[in-house]
Structure 1
Amino acid sequence: MPPYARIAADLRRRITEGELAPGDRVPSTRQVAAQWGVALATATRALAELRREGLVRAEPRVGTVVAEPPPALPPPPGAAARPGDRARLTAPPSRDAEAARRRPGAGAERELTRERVVRAAIEIADAEGLPALSMRGVAARLGVAAMSPYRYVGGKDDLILLMADAAFGELGYPGDHPEGWRERLEIAGRTLWAIFRRHPWLAQLSPLGRPLALPGLTVHADWALAALDGLGLDSATVLDVHILLYSHVQGLAINLERETQIAAATGLSEDQWMDVQGPALSAIAGSGRYPAFAKVIGELGEDGYDFRLDDLFELGMRLLLDGVTCLVERSVPPNGD
């Protein structure tokens, strides 16, 4: 039995025996690779096998989880349903039929398109992060031969650019835009935040100084730049404001992907991690060397501090737009001339 099949069989057993219940996270691609000592491509293929069987599904920003079982078929007349009969509702396939099912099908090859390759890659990145993405993993998810995606994209780097363009293009802007520049910039910020929320891996792609030349991303820049047009700001300042707005959104969104990766690597949620770090932070606050830190921590009391990226996004947007308001007001001559 090949390694991917052994891994899939072990996870399948844990699911069917109830060790992993519907909604439970199954090991990520990287965890499977580390636990079984196999390559990422082998781990990806094992999880893809379970997806094809309907035992697991990808949950954005969570990972791969056990799927809900399909509704049970009623037993034949006169037969009593037995516990655990979920796997016995249909006759097991023959060995030849099972082998045929596991082979990439000609039908899947005929139906393959660039859009399907890109969408499958986005689903992998959404569920397991960009490091888990591979061309072989995309092929396994689509049920096609390992080299088939290369007929539609040049390689992983090309695929990531296509993914980013498609993801940034998922949300657009209204035809009838608000008159006020502030409202328009708010729409730009909230639209970008919603996109990064859907696809946290986007924040990892490029630094601010090396923007991606993508039509899907340029739509957002064009909307923000148009909002700032005619306010009396020079072109360099207009670009600065746009970059600051984008960096606010991207800078917070980077933590979405990092949190997912750290949670998968450590097995600890944010709250659990804070519980582990609590004694060390208390010792620092009680040392007397950091009075401002100790004062703030003490004033928070037993309720502590709730770290919420959405709240930080809202606060940052208000502060940023307030600052731009001051900038615009200074650019207008006193007499309005």
Structure 2
Amino acid sequence: MPAPYQRIAATIRHRISTGDLRQGDRVPSTRELMRAYGVAMATATKALTTLQQEGLVHSRPGVGTVVGPPRRTPARTSEVVSVLSREDVVRTAITLADTEGLAALSMRRIAGELGVSTMGLYRHVGGKDALVLQMVDTAIGDFPLPPGPPAGWREGIETAARLQWAAYRRHLWLPGAITVGRPQLVPNLLSHGDAVLRSLTDLEPSKALYVSISVFGYVRGVALNLESEALAEQDTGLTADEWADEQVDRLAALTGELPGFKALGVPEGFAFDFDLDTLFESGLELLLDGLAVQLERARTPLR
């Protein structure tokens, strides 16, 4: 049975083939598809992305998604390319990554969206690796830290962690574009790290840095599941809870007499609604409760 996004794409494809939607006509937006078919935004986006990859539709700035392949224009003159700003390139790249994932991003694709030559992009953002760094910096920068000092160490860390989580939630490609061991040295990411370090002045410096990295790694680690979960829902048409409901018999067979699961009443008599936002908040609370013990020890002089 086709997944929901495939059924939506097939419907639009049929309308195009029969002439109901003609060259240049606007096709339903993601929000219109969400309302019409009762699907999530990720599913509606996947349907439009599928049609874009087939060359049946393309995005037109200021209009939306329209029928037909993108207009291929010859390389623009240097005068026209010079009007393009770095912000234009970075924001276009972020929009494409949000829609199709970071793996689908290419300088050629961005140039096509902007109607300029591929080489014209390099004077603004450098190569793709440099562009991704600027995308990371811009995406994090859209979630600035509040002015003024926090009320306490816990609020300072919670604020930074939740802002990072919000950025990851908006840009599902973002956690995969950031590393822990060799972090990207971009201003907005460093400012988030600094916000955590300012809350840890009672700790020995190397300990404080490890704690800061642990907080960052925890938020990113949970966030890495956001994109895979969205893709799984697109491909299967099932939410996490719906998928879990279909696994009850298999879970019962695998857990059998395992005491931990049996104590929970799994699978009979146990209801568990898996939610990544709840998982994030629960884990953050555990992490900060443990950190509170560490800080108390650091503040208590040895007797």
The TM-score, its normalising length taken from structure 2, stands at 0.76
* Structure 2 match to 1:236: 206
Taking structure 1 as reference, are residues 26 and 169 closer, same or farther at Cα in structure 2, changes over 3 Å only? closer
| CA apart distance, 1:265 | 4.0
Residues 98 and 173 in structure 2, CA contact (< 8 A), matched pair in contact too: yes
Counterparts of 1:192 and 1:15, CA distance in 2: 46
* Structure 2 match to 1:263: 233
Q: Which residue identity does 1:13 align to in structure 2?
A: I
Q: Which residue identity does 1:209 align to in structure 2?
A: G
| CA apart distance, 1:10 | 4.1
Q: Over aligned residues, Cα RMSD in angstroms?
A: 3.6
Residues 29 and 132 in structure 1, CA contact (< 8 A), matched pair in contact too: no
| CA apart distance, 1:118 | 0.5
Determine which of 280, 292, 301 is the counterpart of 2:269: 301
Determine which of 216, 222, 225 is the counterpart of 1:252: 222
| CA apart distance, 1:52 | 5.2
Counterparts of 1:191 and 1:26, CA distance in 2: 24
Determine which of 53, 76, 97 is the counterpart of 1:43: 53
* Structure 2 match to 1:137: 109
Corresponding residue pairs, total? 274
Counterparts of 1:99 and 1:254, CA distance in 2: 33
| CA apart distance, 1:164 | 0.6
Residues 172 and 219 in structure 1, CA contact (< 8 A), matched pair in contact too: no
* Structure 1 match to 2:157: 185
- Secondary structure at 2:173 match in 1: helix
The TM-score, its normalising length taken from structure 1, stands at 0.69
- Secondary structure at 1:56 match in 2: strand
- Secondary structure at 1:174 match in 2: coil
| CA apart distance, 1:11 | 7.0
Unaligned residue ranges in structure 1 (runs of 5+): 1-6, 33-41, 58-65, 67-97
Determine which of 259, 263, 276 is the counterpart of 1:291: 259
Residues 171 and 195 in structure 1, CA contact (< 8 A), matched pair in contact too: yes
Taking structure 1 as reference, are residues 263 and 211 closer, same or farther at Cα in structure 2, changes over 3 Å only? same
Q: Calculate percent identity across the aligned residue pairs.
A: 39
Q: Deviations over 1:171-213 (max 9, x none)?
A: 2223321242112111111121111112121111243211111
Taking structure 1 as reference, are residues 245 and 29 closer, same or farther at Cα in structure 2, changes over 3 Å only? same
Determine which of 13, 18, 32 is the counterpart of 2:16: 13
1:314 counterpart = 2:276: no
* Structure 1 match to 2:98: 126
Q: Which residue identity does 2:287 align to in structure 1?
A: L
- Secondary structure at 2:180 match in 1: coil
* Structure 2 match to 1:70: none
| CA apart distance, 1:241 | 1.1
* Structure 2 match to 1:327: 294
| CA apart distance, 1:121 | 0.6
Counterparts of 1:305 and 1:15, CA distance in 2: 46
